[in-house]
Amino acid sequence: MKNPATITIVALSAIALTPAAPTATAAAGTPGPAQSAPRAADPTQAARDAAEPGRPDTPAAADPFLAFLEPPWSASPAAQSLSPSNPDRLRRSNAPNSPGQSFPNAANGGATNGNEWITATSNDTGGDSANGSTSDPSTNEHYTSSGGAAGDGTTANGTPGGESADDVWTRGMSTGDMSRGGMSTGGESTIDNPTNDYGLQSGAAGGYGQTDRPTTPTDKPIGPTSLPTRPRSPLDDPPPPGLGADAIQAGPSQAPACTGVRIAPTQDAAEIVDNHPNGTTFCFAAGLHRITRTLKPKTNQVLASDQGAILTGSVRLTRWTATGGDWVTKGVLPAAYARTGQCEDNVANICYLREQLFLNGKHLQRVASRDKVASGTFFGDYANNLVYVGDNPAGKSVEMSKTETAIESDASTVTVRGLTVEHFASAPQGGAVVLGPSWTVSANEIRWNHAIGAMLVNADRAVLEKNLIHHNGQLGAGQYSSVNATITSNEISSNNTDGFWIADWESGGIKTTWSTGGSVSRNLIKANKGVGLWSDAYDDGRTFANNEIVDNAADGVRYEIGRNGVVESNVVRGNGFGTGRGSGTSLWDGGGINVNTSANVRVRYNTVADNVNGISIQSRTRGDGPWGRNLLRDVIVTGNQVTMDRGTTSTGLVQNSGAAIPPGEVTLRGNTYLLDSLTANRFQKAGRWYTATQWRQAGYDTDSKFTTR
């Protein structure tokens, strides 16, 4: 996957984060255990609409930034009527549609007489759009508007030119080369879409992308410290990125007092929870609670502690015998089970084994054979049901994780707070705590579990907040098939302790897949052995904002084969220097922020510094998905501060032979670059290197600022 020369069609396997099942196999090439199709839903994007300049309720001509960057355009009265003040006139549907499916509510192209206008999200053949023309699949592979010809820029009734007042254009118009999409032939398209960001610059930028740009760099003298930039505008001073002056306040110390049914460490917590009705609050007393059976809370139940209770999935190992310089115990391992996941060491391939050992609370590292056992390590011989350790266990506590999951149920509106959850033998892609719909998991410490600390599964409107999530074997937090879920104000650090593949398989800080709307914001994501924050496999309408993402082994942020993403106001520093197998330092290997084969993504107002690369825009051959062909389209990178000196290699675009990036589909503008030298080759496009001046001459960052320390 990392070598562009060998990429053809990449399966959705290793990238599709799905919940684990104890008996299912999720090896490479499969998306994991069978799941029901992710539910389509309409993401809430009010915050994004407010942040994006030129929304319909703020005419673009009044925005000095857009006035400087784009040709003048204005919203017609008809388009202005499609606004949040008249929400019944316009809505968006994310439901996948088969090619050529008609949209009966889209008669006459767009909203007429109060009819709904619906976006066709995967009409490779253009859609039937009632009285509008179909688009040419060669130039509009992605998403047509329901009404009007996307291919030739005509209005709903087929009239070229003029304002397409009744044909509200979406991001997908003529995604091939934008040659006749985006702006109507001979006139303006009225880009007006109050529920998402597709419309603002996609049409204008599409037509604008046809302007002739110099392709042959010429060497011109460069000033000693900076290059001239455009005039300043109000958008030059967005809110500060990252957490600002606020520190993360997380963990059990943040939990409020608990009043309810008391559970003592000596009691069977699962039985007590089972025997109480909906709405019960359970207060775990201080001490170590050994959980031998998964807790399954009912609707509106609360599992809480204000005394520092610890839920552990481990058991004590006590009968040890010295043998050949090691110590061995017998009969404690489960029967052999299927391998799942991908390991950094794909020869030994032992990361999938779930049973961890802890000596006086210290995590022991698993080794692949008995001859490799040494101090601080252990070996599990599953064929003979033997466990070997390299340290004398006499007088010490040795524990082995055994119970797979701490908390999981199908109930909604459950609260989990104030608990420490540790030592659960979760299967790869499975969580120690599994959130459901409208759950709130807050102010906990989730640590030293084999796979994922906290996993959101079909968890619409769930909230994961103010938790300390660290030293889990695979991933800190995961999310699958969830609508409008929130992950905020957590500290997620030092995850992937058990050796999962660092560069390219669900290891590290946070990974989300098949989810719609919602946000990951105000988290501290640091020192994870993998990607810091990863959106993958058909996320739609996701916002990653105001996170501090530092010192992770792979990319800081990766937005991969998704759409409608916003990556804004994050601090992304020191990422990408710890990848191993299958990785290097090129733009193919990512960087601070990596946008990979995704559509309608905004990367803005981030501080990106001291990463292996700055911002990497990748176009790969990724096959088809629920919205049609997976393509890199409509990516705008603006308002970022990018430091590229010392270890940082470059910022730019890469593409493989089957996924060339059409002109105008990637825009970089209004950024600030801090370089080691203005004559250094710090920019790339399709394998060619550029200095700052040459990069501008190639048509990128023409109004950006380039300076040195």
Distance CA 547, CA 570 (A): 5
pTM: 0.70
Distance CA 149, CA 126 (A): 9
Pair type for strands 519-521 and 314-316: unpaired
For residue 531, list its beta bridge partners: 508
For residue 62, the 8-state DSSP code is G
pLDDT at 231: 43
pLDDT at 368: 97
Pair type for strands 362-363 and 281-284: unpaired
Cα-Cα end-to-end distance for the chain: 36
Distance CA 99, CA 143 (A): 10
CA distances to 579, 613, 617, 650, 709 from 646, rounded to whole Å, are 18, 11, 21, 11, 11
Contact yes or no for 617/666 (Cβ under 8 A): yes
pLDDT at 584: 83
pLDDT at 242: 82
Distance CA 303, CA 663 (A): 54
pLDDT at 245: 60
Q: Identify the segments of the chain with pLDDT beneath 70.
A: 1-239, 244-245
Q: Convert the pLDDT of each residue in 391-404 to its tens digit.
A: 999 999 999 999 99
Neighbours of 294 (CB within 10 A): 17
Which residue, among 180, 182, 178, 186, has the nearest Cα to 162 in the 3D structure? 186
Take residue 229 and report the two structure tokens written for it.
Answer: 């930039």
pLDDT at 590: 84
Neighbours of 580 (CB within 10 A): 13
For residue 436, list its beta bridge partners: none
Secondary-structure breakdown of the chain: helix, strand, coil percentages, each rounded to the nearest 5: 10, 25, 65
Distance CA 393, CA 386 (A): 15
Pair type for strands 314-316 and 398-401: antiparallel
pLDDT at 238: 67
Which residue, among 518, 529, 523, has the nearest Cα to 562 in the 3D structure? 518
For 696, phi and psi rounded to 5 degrees?
A: -60, -45
E-only strand ranges, 382-526? 386-389, 398-401, 415-417, 420-422, 431-435, 440-442, 445-447, 452-457, 463-465, 468-470, 475-480, 486-488, 491-493, 508-513, 519-521, 524-526
pLDDT at 237: 60
CA distances to 150, 328, 617, 619, 667 from 656, rounded to whole Å, are 27, 52, 12, 7, 19
pLDDT at 165: 31
Helix, coil or strand: residue 63:
coil
Q: Convert the pLDDT of each residue in 566-588 to its tens digit.
A: 999 999 999 999 998 887 889 99
